[in-house]
Structure 1
Amino acid sequence: MVRVLVVEDEPQLADALREALARESFAVDVAYDGGEALEKYAVHDYDVVVLDRDLPVVHGDDVCRAIVAGRRPTRVLMLTAASAVRARVEGLAIGADDYLVKPFALAELSARVHALARRTAPAAVPVLERAGLRVDQASRAVTRDGRPVALTNKEYAVLVELLRADGGVLSAEQLLEKVWDENIDPFTNTVRVTVMKLRRKLGTPQMIETLPAAGYRLS
């Protein structure tokens, strides 16, 4: 699951971006000013930050500089109303990985976030397989012993994380961080319920093992 931080001081646009990216199965958090963005960046590991340049509290340029200085693999897509070439060059010189001029099509923004996310993570294995379970990450098709398995976005994301762990244990907290956004209650039983539904859909024999006080793994 790709985690995205949208930093935009226009609430209507920020919420529209969150909804559009969430439909693409991204886990999306929102900050409405540069100060809030830096606070969230300090707590969470984001794959992509969609960053408005003209922000209150802390200017977008300074937020971008802080992200670059953090030396994480986070990619920055900078948004601006300025269409001049000089403005775009300045943004890229600060450390932004890509630039998009307002107004823009949501489809283009989504495509650019997808492209930046591919640069953030190691090259994904096209097909994940384990004991008759097969996940094609390009088509998002899931089968077990040749039988198609229909999953929700969250169920699919949890399954992919468990497959990537290759038998390692993932705690509920780790799955919350990787699959859900910041609005999820950290004390929720959402992970347990999602795993329960995933087990049921995958069928027998059961593949997902629960380790008390530790987490989950594929057996």
Structure 2
Amino acid sequence: MESFECNICQDEGGMVALGEDGTEYWRSCECAERKRIKRLMQFSQITEEFQKKMFGNFNLEGRPPLVAQAFEVARSYVLDFQKARCTPQNSIALLGRPGCGKTHLLMAVSNNLLSRGIEVLYFPWVEGFNGIKDDLSKMEEKVHRLRECEVLYIDDMFKGRGKPTDFQLEQLFGIVNHRYLEKKPLLISSEKTIAQICEIDEGIGSRINEMCRDYRVTLSGGIELNYRLK
């Protein structure tokens, strides 16, 4: 006896159904959406460990008010996403001190969007550019995907001891500018403030500032913000 992952549609992704007027039509099965979300998660580059990062397991107990503010802004962004996604201010940036939970919160945003069938591509700054430079034959393909995916999450932007290279800045400007013009959402975490990003490249910083105007928190302060040191 043949076995199927879905016994309802027998892995066809849907079935023929009858409308009220007796005409036949194709009705998608619930399993099709589940499989699509699974594929989106696989293509997102988000690791299994990061797939566990949600709002529900973000610990706010004893955390400074700015961290609570970042939590609320990230959650509001998810709730408002469908309304804001086609507007010029459709992006979110969590900036400032390391160890504040910026990555966790934007992973929670990403995982929520993915669970709703919205494509998110994760691009960790250091590893992402290392991956591009390691195989320049696929650079055009990789950069094209960074420009065109529904939602792009750039994590730890400008992380590193030295200044970003001309190659990194050229590619980043092209990605940010394309998404700015096409109103494609960005999720950005960085230890740099908007002013510091503008010092590196004003064209990049000003576009990110405008895109993230409605959903931006700068976590400024001392070492008390770093939960890893508690």
Answer whether TM exceeds 0.5 for this pair. Answer: no
Larger C-alpha radius of gyration, 1 or 2? 2
User: Which structure: greater strand fraction?
Assistant: 1
* TM-score w.r.t. length of structure 2: 0.29
* TM-score w.r.t. length of structure 1: 0.30
